[in-house]
Amino acid sequence: MAPDKNRATAAAILPLVGGAQNITSVAHCMTRLRLGLADRSLVDDDALKALPAVLGVVEDDTYQIVLGPGTVARVTPELEAMVAESGGGAEPRPTTPDHAPTATELAAQGAALKAARKAKNATPFKLLLRRIANIFVPLIPALIGCGIIAGFNGLLVNLEWLPSITPALAAMASGFMALIAVFVGYNTAKEFGGTPILGGAVAAIIVYAGVADIEAFGQKLSPGQGGVLGALGAAVLATYIEKWCRRWVPEAVDVLVTPTLTVLIAGLVTIFGLMFLAGEVSTGIGTAADWLLDNTGAFAGLVLGGLFLPLVMLGLHQALIPIHTTLIEQQGYTVLLPILAMAGAGQVGCAIAVYKRLRRNTSIRTTIRSALPAGFLGVGEPLIYGVSLPLGRPFVTACVGGAAGGAFIGFFSMLGDKVGSTAIGPSGWALFPLLDGNENLGLTAAIYAGGLLVGYLVGFLATYFFGFSKQMLTDLNADVDAGESPTARAEAEPTPAKAPATA
């Protein structure tokens, strides 16, 4: 998307969310523009969804506009600049009335479901998970970039090509991972209200080579021991120590005493406690993941692939982010992400089945046609919130497809052929450049492709045959864009004349 198009997209979005004065914060993740809003009622959902660049909207703790990978990273700074430049909001545009059973009505139903879930999800535990997600999500672009370079470098090494270049590529791929604890510490302190650089300073202790000369719990420490979990705990501790110091240290010496005490106290606790404890937890995570897939691979894949979308609905999927990152730190890839990606394959198969079953509902079919390309690339929000979730039963059958795909990949893991991802974030076809495993890349890619095909096929068949009741088909299978309701269609269809009675 060209710069002028990015600015045009931002300019189109701004008045539809109530103008600059209605925006309290602007951020983005891999696919979504995340807006904090002062007044949710000023947002014109229908007009936003009608914008060509918008793939869908999601309401959670922030108002999230799905723009897709790449686009969102370019539109966000344009919108931030407009918000900074503008002092006034725009009048909200009137919404158009819903016409059941159109894609608009389904989206409205999806929004209602999301609003209900949002109220239920505002628990301290789930708010903590969102904070954890806010720490790790900004790291995803670097994980992806370094992961793709690592995969490309591995291919060159295996083929024995460009031996003078591969060491440089290895340095590029590994540099970020070697220091990821520092970035986690920085983001953690920022998220919990501390000074970010102090969080990074304390976390940097974990990766410092000199810790190898220190003994804790009767064992020599290793640089990097505890990884991102240790960095997370160290930075949280540093934040609370800093806040305590700000309350009690006199202002005249605060600039000297507070940073010193923060790094000193948090650093000592990190070296003589957190590094060892977090290291044990990290090792346990890796061991548990290996055991789970080695011994119960097919069943574990079925459960993980089938339940991932409900976990997303409950906001619990965010707890998996530090687990993925820990596995990547330890093993070079996470074996969980390819299995969880099968949930998106089930959604794609489900959407194709809905498209086939609702032949007369041009509104829903148009939504599916526009959302399917993004679905194949792993951006599932438009299909989930615009099609399967508000329909109900198709969401369940989509999960069945995800379970089948996950079981397929898990089965091969039991056979010793593990499929992993060197980064988190991408899914669907977009995950191919990041694939890695304990076998050659061709076999790893073939197993992952097989899982996608199984997810597509089972999601399609389960939805086609079990995703609709007769009443649902009657209510939904109408050409609503042409003004035809199910009742009108039934009245318009001629009733077969009864044959005359014979004696």
Q: Is the dihedral of CA 6, 7, 12, 14 positive or negative?
A: positive
Which residue, 59, 138, 136, is CA-closest to 319? 136
What interhelical angle do 320-331 and 275-314 show, nearest 10? Answer: 130
Dihedral of CA atoms 440, 444, 446, 447 in degrees, nearest 10, equals 140
Checking phi first, is residue 94 left (phi over 0); if not, alpha (psi -120 to 50) or beta?
beta
The DSSP symbol for 342 reads: H
Checking phi first, is residue 478 left (phi over 0); if not, alpha (psi -120 to 50) or beta?
beta
Positions of E strands within 177-330: 215-216, 219-220
- Phi, psi values for residue 60, rounded to 5°: -135, -130
Angle at 335 between CA 287 and CA 231, to 5 degrees: 65
Do residues 459 and 401 touch, judged by C-beta distance below 8 A?
Answer: yes
Q: Is 29 a catalytic residue?
A: yes
Task: Report the distance separating Cα 23 and Cα 411, nearest Å.
Answer: 48
Which entry of 29, 146, 350, 399 is annotated as an active-site residue?
29
Report the DSSP beta bridge partners of residue 64: 34, 58
Q: Which two tokens stand for residue 122?
A: 């505002």
Do residues 244 and 238 touch, judged by C-beta distance below 8 A?
Answer: no
Cis link prior to 141 (omega < 30° from 0)?
no
Three-state SS for 79-118 is HHHHHHHCCCCCCCCCCCCCCCCCHHHHHHHHHHHHHHHH
Instruction: List C-alpha distances in Å: 178 to 184, 196, 278.
Output: 12, 19, 17
Greatest CA span in the chain, whole angstroms?
113
Q: Would you say how long the chain is, in residues? A: 503
Task: Report the distance separating Cα 240 and Cα 266, nearest Å.
Answer: 9
Instruction: List C-alpha distances in Å: 112 to 42, 57, 60, 108, 235.
Output: 16, 12, 11, 6, 38
The residues annotated as belonging to the active site are 29
